[in-house]
Amino acid sequence: MTSEGSPTVAYVWVWLPRAVEPVVAGRLRARDDIVTFQYGSSYLRLDDAVPLYLPELPKQTGVQRPADGLRIAGCVADAGPDSWGQRIIMERRGAANRLEGRYDAIGPLGFLLESGSDRFGALDFQVSPEHYVARATQQAPLEKLLEAADRLEQGLPLDPVLEQALLHGSSLGGARPKALLQTDDELGRIAKFARRSDPYPVVGAEGAAMWLARQVGINVAAVEVLRCGDSDVLLVERFDRPGAGQRAMTVSALTLQGLDAATGGRYATYTNLAHDIRKRFTEPKATLRELFARIAFNICVGNTDDHARNHAAFWDGRTEMLTLTPAYDICPQSRAGGETQQTMAYDAAGMERRSRLSTLVESSDLYQLTKDEAREVASEIVDTIERRWSEAAEFARLSAADGARLMGTQILNPSIHY
């Protein structure tokens, strides 16, 4: 049920392809734990209006309910905050909510309306269908953002200005501390921070993995690792910003597969993503090869957090085609010993998750590769990582000791060859 006091109506605003200003697309309404959507008549009359995503929200009149198993349309949920952003909002409202005995009363539309407006993709959410007002545009220096994220992690109060600056990035996905950093090119960067509790240098490991991904030929977001005080910060380019003032429409692989993160994410597979690429993506053969390389690389660097919201596609509503976005969130995960598993199955049957290159190669047909071609891709990735790991570690500001500890555990663990 919708919590008493939580918002029941919100308006979706969208940046159409190549536009620099948003237009109102329609209305969300929350009732009985379901959020429906209805396009506005003014939007439907626009010559350049596009569906927010198909087959989910076709451009038509009338109220549209989410598909069975979903509480809200996936393309809308993709634009909402994940656990880190939700934590910022909950902490911001925590004192008042606890006093009123309704700490969890924000509701799905509340999270959309209270998170920052500079979110992933081309949607934003407003209380008004007539006037667009961007939320949480307060800026702060990188070191202050890092301080604010650290204080939030410790449960300490925040200065109101820093709270607003941190809220600016609350609409970003993921569970790790992060913020949005304004840059001279107006496109901005995502700043990802370390945690005091990190068992290994997570920021450096992700920076090294992202740098290596580019060296093996994967289309990946550009990154930079900076030293800020006594901590490293990973800066990631905004590939969903094609130009100043513009925003690219995007959908996650979770949405492509019609699944809900809370209840259905475990059913997402590379298998289904590969089938979608064959049917709905531009340049399907090249894209399938790219997807195979990304899976192989994730296996090689121990990125087992490769869930469906860590893969996305650009949605061109005009041609109704999808294009794989650059790779992102390639982060080696903690590993105690030998063999582990990927989050999503990658074989033709949609069952195999073991982090083994040999098993992945056996599924080469799914990616329109011969077994020889698949072995060549995997071997080139392994060879490049072996040859260039020291450069990657230096780029990511990893100490020699940390670089040595990562190699053979997260990076190129012997079990990947079983």
Amino acid at 28: L
Q: Does the structure show a pLDDT above 60 at 146?
A: yes
Q: Which of 49-58, 278-287, 331-340 is least confident?
A: 331-340
Indicate the pLDDT class of residue 217, thresholds 50, 70 and 90: very high
Which tokens in the block code for residue 25?
A: 């697309």
Largest CA distance in the chain: 64
Q: What is the pLDDT of residue 89?
A: 84
Domain range summary for the chain, segments of one domain joined by +: 142-237, 250-417
pLDDT at 101: 39
Whether 158 shows a pLDDT value over 80: the answer reads: no
Tell me yes or no: is domain 250-417 CATH 1.10.1070.20.
yes
Read off the pLDDT band of 136 (50, 70, 90): low
| pLDDT in the model for residue 298 | 98
Supply the pLDDT for residue 104: 53
Sign of the Cα torsion 29, 31, 36, 38 reads: negative
Q: What is the pLDDT of residues 40-57, one digit of tens each?
A: 999 999 999 999 999 999
What is the per-residue pLDDT for 3? 56
Average pLDDT for the chain: 91
Q: At what angle do helices 160-168 and 142-154 cross, to 10 degrees?
A: 100
Which of 5, 43, 50 has its CA nearest to residue 248? 50
Least confident of 121-130, 199-208, 226-235: 226-235
Residue 358: how many other CB atoms lie within 10 Å: 12
What was the pLDDT predicted at 181? 84
- The CATH architecture that domain 142-237 belongs to is 2-Layer Sandwich (3.30)
Q: Would you give the DSSP letter of residue 137?
A: -
Burial readout 6-41 (b: 16 or more C-beta within 10 A, e: otherwise): bbeebbbbbbbbeeeebbbbbbbbbeeeebbbbbbe
Q: Which helix (H) or strand (E) holds 57?
A: none
Instruction: Count how many residues are written for the chain.
Output: 418
Residue 100 to residue 285: CA distance in whole angstroms:
56
Distances in Å between the alpha carbon of 386 and those of 52, 173, 393? 43, 31, 12
142-237 matches 250-417 in fold: no
Average pLDDT over residues 348-354: 97
Residue 2's pLDDT band (boundaries 50, 70, 90)? low
The predicted model scores a pTM of 0.93
CB 35 within 8 A of CB 18: no
